[in-house]
Amino acid sequence: MKIKTNDKVKVVAGKDRGKEGKVIQVFPSANKIVVEGINIMKKHLRPKKHGEKGQIIELAAPFSAANALIICEKCGKPTRVGYRLDGDKKKRICRKCKEFIA
Q: Which is nearer to Zn ion, 75 or 102 (CB)?
A: 75
If one asks whether residue 97 binds Zn ion (CB under 5 A), the answer comes out as: yes
Q: Does 70 bind Zn ion (CB under 5 A)?
A: no
- Judged by CB under 5 A, the stretch of 21-29, 30-38, 47-55, 91-99 that binds Zn ion is 91-99
Determine phi and psi for 43, rounding to 5 degrees: -120, 130
15/80 with CB nearer Zn ion: 80
Sequence-ordered list of residues with C-beta below 8 angstroms from that of 61, at least 6 positions apart, any chain: 34, 39, 40, 41
Contact between 72 and Zn ion (CB under 5 A)? yes
Least distance from Zn ion to the Cβ atom of residue 32, Å: 24
Is residue 74 a contact point for Zn ion (CB under 5 A)?
yes
Identify residue 9 by its one-letter amino acid code. Answer: V
Rounded to whole angstroms, the Cα distance separating 64 from 80 reads: 14
Which among 39, 48, 53, 99 is positioned nearest to 75, based on CA atoms? 99
Instruction: State the residues that interact with Zn ion by CB under 5 A.
Output: 72, 74-75, 94, 96-97
